[in-house]
Amino acid sequence: MNQISTEEEQEEFLEEQDSLWRLALSPTLWALHFAISYGATTVFCADHILGVDYITTLRLGIGLLTVGVMAAIIWLGWGAWRQWDVVRDREWENDAGNKEDRHQFMGHAAFLLSLISAIGVIYVSLPILLIASCS
């Protein structure tokens, strides 16, 4: 394995590692939100069969989860927007293939994934607002 020799290369490696985390974290949060929301609904509605209705608690819990996940996705999206840096240089395409273009492309991709993840979280949360009971 090749050792990273210079300080500049190490810094570039750490920035790209952060970019990869930013790229993967928003869809992961969306997936976790989906699994927790539907899993909690299953568990709470299973108790409904026994005669206990926890719909208010379920709504509150998923509502708080949604607010927290949306805050995290918005924060990640804002960081990706700043990394994309489209406002400063007005360059919509990054096709030169140099270090800066790769870095900005990763920001662009992470921003779009954050946007899609936020829309997904909203759609997963809509049934909780509309559900009246578990039956």
**pLDDT tens digit string along 92-130?**
555 556 666 777 778 888 999 999 999 999 999 988 877
What pTM did the predictor assign?
A: 0.77
Lowest mean pLDDT among 2-6, 27-31, 104-108, 124-128: 2-6
Output the average pLDDT for the chain. 80
Handedness of CA 70, 74, 80, 81 (dihedral sign): positive
Lowest mean pLDDT among 1-15, 80-94, 100-114: 1-15
The per-residue pLDDT for 122 is 95
Q: Which residue did the predictor score with more confidence, 51 or 58?
A: 58
Q: CB neighbours of 131 closer than 8 A, spacing ≥ 6?
A: 55, 59
Helices (H), the chain: 7-49, 55-84, 86-89, 99-130
Residue 5 has pLDDT above 70, yes or no: no
The per-residue pLDDT for 55 is 81
Whether 101 contacts 14, CB under 8 Å: no
Q: Residues 17-40: what's their mean pLDDT?
A: 88
Greatest mean pLDDT among 13-22, 31-40, 100-109 lies in: 31-40
